Structure 1
């Protein structure tokens, strides 16, 4: 066991202490040691450089908690007390106050050192700087939230699938319209498709998933009330910097009203063509009759 008094400044030579000091000052983490009760007895130079606290100012039971962001203090204290009580591995993310007055994210970890009887003699801990990773993670979370908000705002039913075509996500409008869940759709997504169009839809999607070409089709989708409405469906592959497909993004746009209008126009055109045909025949008959009268 490394004697904390030596680490705190005892001048007697100790090879084990010297090796620990060398290692503790070499690694990039803030290093600390406590006794079995959680009383801090040692911090390395990196701790002093970051916090601006001297070793004399830093030792104690609660000083470290006062340097944490107010929102992290109770969570860190609760987790640390649990480890002290149970001997469990200590791990937590929290924000430490630096000497410039700003807070920075660290990953705190600690393991107990036990004697031959299994009793904890000391805790060895480190604080690893993770500010850059945490900010990237928070930014990713913000972007993800913005995407979710946007996806739930657009009028389309939106979805995502893996590179192989496995469905992984739907927006809220999809669930509101179909009345299904992701688990149900993963088991059998065909249940929301009209049987008359299912085979064509499956074949088209399969071709696109294999070829990587964009997909587009028009077909009816069943609502939670049992009504089928027509949708213009499209999907595009999302690729990484190597050009590899990482997932697919798709939308279903309700075109039921446009479809009805198109059918009405087609019927109108058909009716008009019939009327024109009959009128043409009628005119031809009148012309024939007129010729016969003129020839008499």
Structure 2
């Protein structure tokens, strides 16, 4: 933990309202504010003393983002120039303790600042972040809604509109004159331009429905009323609006569209054709697909489901019987939980193919369909065959275990160091036997093995890393507490330091191997005597 003058000073740092984290020059975490820990779903005990990128790795689901690499560039800039570095908006997902290896999508506005002593030497790096996830997601949702609204208005010949509630500013879409007969100048850019054209007998009811929607926090408002066109005639319209709230829950903007219901018959026919296209789409999908009602009861399987499972066509009950017995309980539990909460449903499990009698792995995803009040009205889902990916993963895991077994049985003790700070990333069990149960992984070599400094240990690491030389040391005498009695014996080792290069022939790290030759040395001495 970061050293402070007293507990009082440490308590003040922990209680700061901002998101602050302090790192040593080797990027090991020293301390963080309570707000930072709460926001990143971490605990002080879990992160103090650990390498930053071990605690906060890249999200493997988004390999193209290079979040950790971009953040490390900022830290390296601070280390090299001893100047503050302010980053652009950075997506850096954080590990989620509740998702068993999953990550939460997060967006940050980060800055990294050097803390220097009076001589100008860098003591710490102070990392400050602002969590702007809600702002980014809100902007994304707004853009999505506007895009969806434009598609809707284009398809239904509707008039789109946007109303800035705080500034009483109304904007109208391009179909205004075509459908309602007004130019933007004629209808005006104030809210009253809409108010005075709503039929007097409908106005109060419309206002009440808007008030009910905003007071309840609803994001969707829908109303039917009569609206006066430029020629003086009233037409029935369907008005639908999406309500945007600020962080305090105050409505600040609405985005919507007005649809002329005069030709409702034509609208009904369009909806019927849309439904037919929807059902046709489900049938021609190359995947198995399904629909369920709001309570989670399956109401439809497409043809691919029946072809694969062999269930009688039209049978909707008993689908759990084609799931692998080891998976069925977890599938049912997850499905009922999502039906209860309305969350996205996603599971990987095995389904039996009636033609072969064998089970194949599928990834099933179900999405809730919401009504105008934001409540789940139905579910739609599909299966993706992931059998090949699963088999490939199993083969990789088997090879990893085989390699680890080979390394563990090897007479050579191995250690992998990475980066210019020589951070330990991997050791074989023999290293524990040599030096005991120290904290190895994630720490720099100079902290792990202080007793080796007298043997030019750090100088050799620098030579191998920067000059890419392979260094061999024979018959190095090292104290070795072989039996953990507290009384080390003399032991002899042959050591080799080998640089590890990336595809650009840049040094990534160093592989150290140590082979004990104590018996050989003793035999030689006895023979010479």
TM-score by length of 1: 0.70
In the alignment, which of 29, 41, 51 is matched to residue 299 of structure 2? 41
In the alignment, which of 307, 322, 327 is matched to residue 72 of structure 1? 327
1:74 to 1:235, Cα distance in 2 relative to 1, 3 A:
farther
What is the Cα deviation at residue 242 of structure 1? 8.2
1:143 to 1:245, Cα distance in 2 relative to 1, 3 A:
farther
Higher mean alpha-carbon deviation, 101-110 vs 187-196, is at 187-196
What is the Cα deviation at residue 138 of structure 1? 0.9
Q: Which has the higher contact order (CA 8 A, sep 6+)?
A: 1
Is the Cα–Cα contact under 8 Å of residues 31 and 125 in structure 1 kept in the other structure? Answer: yes
Per the alignment, residue 366 of structure 2 pairs with 110
Matches within 5 A, 1:129-148: 129-148=385-404
Is the Cα–Cα contact under 8 Å of residues 33 and 124 in structure 1 kept in the other structure? Answer: yes
Is the Cα–Cα contact under 8 Å of residues 466 and 507 in structure 2 kept in the other structure? Answer: no
1:259 to 1:32, Cα distance in 2 relative to 1, 3 A:
same
CA RMSD of aligned residues (A): 3.2
1:195 to 1:35, Cα distance in 2 relative to 1, 3 A:
same
Q: SS in structure 2 opposite 1:145?
A: helix
In the alignment, which of 446, 449, 452 is matched to residue 194 of structure 1? 452
Higher mean alpha-carbon deviation, 167-176 vs 136-145, is at 167-176
Per the alignment, residue 283 of structure 1 pairs with none
Is the Cα–Cα contact under 8 Å of residues 193 and 221 in structure 1 kept in the other structure? Answer: no
What is the Cα deviation at residue 77 of structure 1? 1.5
Q: SS in structure 1 opposite 2:449?
A: helix
TM-score by length of 2: 0.42
1:30 to 1:222, Cα distance in 2 relative to 1, 3 A:
farther
Higher helix share: 1
What is the Cα deviation at residue 97 of structure 1? 0.7
Task: List alignment gaps of at least 5 residues for structure 2.
Answer: 1-270
Per the alignment, residue 3 of structure 1 pairs with none
Matches within 5 A, 1:61-210: 63-99=318-354, 100-162=356-418, 165-183=422-440, 186-187=443-444, 188-191=446-449, 193-197=451-455, 199=456, 201-210=457-466
Is the Cα–Cα contact under 8 Å of residues 31 and 127 in structure 1 kept in the other structure? Answer: yes
CA distance in 1 between partners of 2:329 and 2:311 (Å): 22
1:90 to 1:253, Cα distance in 2 relative to 1, 3 A:
same
Is the Cα–Cα contact under 8 Å of residues 464 and 510 in structure 2 kept in the other structure? Answer: no
What do the CA deviations read for 1:226-259 (whole angstroms, capped 9, x no partner)?
A: 6363322235566788878777554321123334
Is the Cα–Cα contact under 8 Å of residues 28 and 128 in structure 1 kept in the other structure? Answer: no
1:192 to 1:18, Cα distance in 2 relative to 1, 3 A:
farther
1:155 to 1:68, Cα distance in 2 relative to 1, 3 A:
same
What is the Cα deviation at residue 27 of structure 1? 4.5
What is the Cα deviation at residue 144 of structure 1? 1.3
Q: SS in structure 1 opposite 2:362?
A: strand
Is the Cα–Cα contact under 8 Å of residues 170 and 182 in structure 1 kept in the other structure? Answer: no
1:137 to 1:182, Cα distance in 2 relative to 1, 3 A:
farther
CA distance in 2 between partners of 1:203 and 1:28 (Å): 61
Pair 1:53-2:324 in alignment: no
In the alignment, which of 11, 18, 31 is matched to residue 289 of structure 2? 31
Is the Cα–Cα contact under 8 Å of residues 234 and 251 in structure 1 kept in the other structure? Answer: yes
Per the alignment, residue 251 of structure 1 pairs with 513
What is the Cα deviation at residue 31 of structure 1? 1.5
Q: SS in structure 1 opposite 2:513?
A: strand
CA distance in 2 between partners of 1:246 and 1:23 (Å): 50
CA distance in 1 between partners of 2:287 and 2:507 (Å): 38
Report how many aligned residue pairs link the two structures: 250
